Amino acid sequence: MRSHQLSNVLYRSPIKKNKVKANTYVHIPGQRERKLQLEKKLEALLQRVGGSSSSSTADTTPALQMPDNHEDTRMDVENSPVAQDTSVDMEASCQGDFDTSPSVQAPPSEHLPVNVESGAKLDAKKLDSRWKGLLPGLLEPLLAYRNRTTGRFDHHFEEIEQLYYREINVPYCKCRDLHQTLVEHGFFPASPSQPWVAFKIVLLDLYCALCEKSSNAVHALAGALDRGEALQDPIQRGLGQVVQWYDCLLVLDERRLESIVQGCRRSIPTTVSTPLPTDPPASAPSTSLPTTTAEPSSTINAAEKLPAMLAPGECTSLLQQLCPACFGGREFGRSFNEGGDIHVALDGNLYRRHLKLAGKGIPFHTSQRFLSKDFVNAVGDRIEQARSKPAKARMPKVPDEAIDACTESYQAARGDGEKKRTQDVYDENGLMALVCRHDIPIFVASINTPGEQQRYSVALLEALFTMIPKGATVVGLYDIGCVLDRSLSTYDLLPEQYMARLQLATSMMHTYGHQWTCQLTFNPRLRKGLGLTDGEGTERLWSRLRGLIGIEHHSSLDCIARDLRDSLGTWQHHRLHNNIHKKEIEASQTFASDGIPMDVLQEQWRLQHEAQMSVRAHAPSRLKKQLNKVFQLQSKIEAVEAISRI
């Protein structure tokens, strides 16, 4: 949901602005108090530098006479169509009419900006900053609204939902913001500055729950609610922003709860348990790490460097919250013959693309699961530098001829993917995910290269190792795990402390497309300790995300035609009323003001038509083309004569 709601467009009304409504003086709550505070600060600064008195300050920032009777603010609950359009328009216009900053002339700058942002982009940034500044103050009212109850043991009541527009007066105190009052009473404002329209929070909760199951877009709910209204889409513009910022408010609540839980965990002393002995693998010593410094030939040999004792440790809180079954343990260090500590699966999807033409909005949410592009690019640069160096000496477990055959069998192993022409169309070519054994997505990386290169799988594994204990062992299942295993053992793509605790295998569904010699080593069903782990959790993840296909793919011709047929009556009314009738009146007025008879104009038009359609009118251009052909023939003749002289 957070990835769909964009804030790069400041939506404006599809109808013309009402002059009477635009010229009406609007009082912004709290504007006068903020202005007085700024005047006092400015006066103190001027007096500090030995400047002027308060009178000069008053001249510098002329006071606005604003009414004080703002206790009763009128608003439309459940989205009044007229108020919906004015709430956004007035918000954008008030940014210039009611500037709270003192009008002190800034000194001229010697370095002028090169890239000046457009007005729409600046409006979107201002709107985004207002929402981000408003959300922290709405968290407490939201919690108060959710914790309130009106029921008693002997009290019977009926709850009646209002499925219509209703205009009410909302009284609120000066010491408490109007937005907080609305949220505390179960309404979420549609504007961060002037909440003329508010949505019921239970309606937003219903949409969030519905979107998680059916992936319905905002316009689906808006189209169902605005049926029969006079204006076209009176709810969609406001509902989209309300859903976006309400979801951000819920994220603040989750992170606050997480911080409280972490504080409680830190306050409880942890008891360190005694390491329990385990059965060492047959090829590994039973005491400690070997003292040899030889490089491992492959991740298959990593078990030879594993300790034989479980060590106490704890994963990060993020991993524990994502999957307590995989990351909630307190002891790590199991050998790979016992299955290791953590099983993960990796896979890429080159169909989750993003068009360049769609643009990029202002970021309003920082995901903890998506790896940053800087981190992925740094891993890619490190891989390129490692490949430029000579390959390490190794003892391959699988013949290189078999790995080369597997590389040719899978497009992802070649790393080229589709043609590079997609780089001109898409700025995001796909996604690559890392999921745990229970199919829970842990990390996701955006693919911004033509193919599924190894930088993404290495970056996902490295990010996982940074959040688990130092002794934890990881088994990674990948479609081309054999190819990645050879690359890791040939070049220093991962740090040595990670390589010693990593073992790679192929996913179950793709393993039968590999060579038989490759299957003997990397097939999870032929590997000891992996059990029923199939490594196809990412495929199931893409299957669960199939509901997003409908709202992300391009509209077909049938869908476009159906939408145009639905609005055909509005289109005809617009063309007849605003174009034909209006232009006919304007043409009649122009003709009457000139005073030229109609027969004279028609005769002049006939003469102009005959002159333009005459063959002589196009003679100069025709002669020019023929002359160019003569020059070309002359140049060819001269070239032939020059060759004959040789």
Residue 270 resides in a domain: no
Q: Are residues 317 and 461 in the same domain?
A: yes
Whole-number pLDDT of residue 290:
34
190-230 tens-digit pLDDT: 888 877 788 888 888 888 888 777 777 777 777 777 666 65
Q: Are residues 471 and 407 in the same domain?
A: yes
Q: Are residues 329 and 358 in the same domain?
A: yes
CA torsion through residues 348, 349, 352, 353, sign = positive
Domain that holds residue 645: 596-646
152-185 tens-digit pLDDT: 444 444 444 455 556 667 676 777 778 888 888 8
Q: Are residues 371 and 452 in the same domain?
A: yes
3-state secondary structure of 213: helix
355 bridge partner residues: 426
Q: To which H or E segment does residue 166 belong?
A: strand 166-171
**Residues 6 or more apart from 282 whose CB is under 8 A from it?**
337
- 479 close to 347: Cβ distance less than 8 angstroms: yes
Q: Which residue has the higher pLDDT, 192 or 1?
A: 192
Residue 283 resides in a domain: no
**Is the pLDDT confidence value at 68 over 80?**
no
CA torsion through residues 348, 353, 359, 364, sign = negative
**Is the pLDDT confidence value at 258 over 80?**
yes
Query: What is the pLDDT averaged over residues 634-638?
Result: 88
The domain boundary residue, chosen from 233, 259, 285: 259
Residue 602 resides in a domain: yes
**Is the pLDDT confidence value at 299 over 80?**
no
- 474 close to 340: Cβ distance less than 8 angstroms: yes
Range name among 270-274, 521-525, 567-571 with the lowest pLDDT average? 270-274
Q: Are residues 481 and 462 in the same domain?
A: yes
Q: In angstroms, what CA-CA distances link 434 with 176, 281, 346, 444?
A: 46, 28, 5, 6
Nearest-angstrom CA–CA distance, 412 and 348: 8
What is the overall mean pLDDT for the chain?
73
Q: Are residues 214 and 87 in the same domain?
A: yes
Q: Are residues 352 and 210 in the same domain?
A: no
Query: What is the pLDDT averaged over residues 299-311?
Result: 56
Q: In angstroms, what CA-CA distances link 390 with 393, 407, 491?
A: 9, 21, 8
pTM of the model: 0.57
Q: Are residues 539 and 610 in the same domain?
A: no
- 511 close to 308: Cβ distance less than 8 angstroms: no
569-592 tens-digit pLDDT: 777 777 777 778 888 888 888 888
Return the CA Rg of the chain: 35
- 275 close to 29: Cβ distance less than 8 angstroms: no
**Is the pLDDT confidence value at 298 over 60?**
no
Residue 512 resides in a domain: yes
Q: Are residues 96 and 225 in the same domain?
A: yes
Residue 138 resides in a domain: yes
Q: Are residues 363 and 402 in the same domain?
A: yes
Number of domains in the chain: 4
How much of the chain, in percent, has pLDDT values that exceed 90?
A: 7
Residue with tokens 């769609």: 358
- Beta strands in 331-471, from DSSP E residues, in sequence order: 331-332, 342-349, 354-355, 426-428, 430-436, 441-447
Nearest-angstrom CA–CA distance, 58 and 42: 10
Residue 298 resides in a domain: no
Q: Are residues 248 and 381 in the same domain?
A: no
Phi and psi at 336, nearest 5°, equal -70, -25
**Is the pLDDT confidence value at 424 over 60?**
yes
Q: Are residues 587 and 538 in the same domain?
A: no
Residue 280 resides in a domain: no
The structure tokens listed for 433 are: 């995910």
**What are the helix (H) ranges across 192-340?**
201-214, 218-225, 236-267, 317-322, 324-327
Q: How confident is the model at residue 521 (pLDDT cuts 50, 70, 90)?
A: confident
Residue 1 resides in a domain: no
The domain boundary residue, chosen from 492, 525, 549: 549
The structure tokens listed for 172 are: 């609120």
3-state secondary structure of 117: coil
Q: How confident is the model at residue 309 (pLDDT cuts 50, 70, 90)?
A: confident
339-391 tens-digit pLDDT: 889 999 999 888 777 777 666 777 777 788 889 889 999 999 999 998 888 88
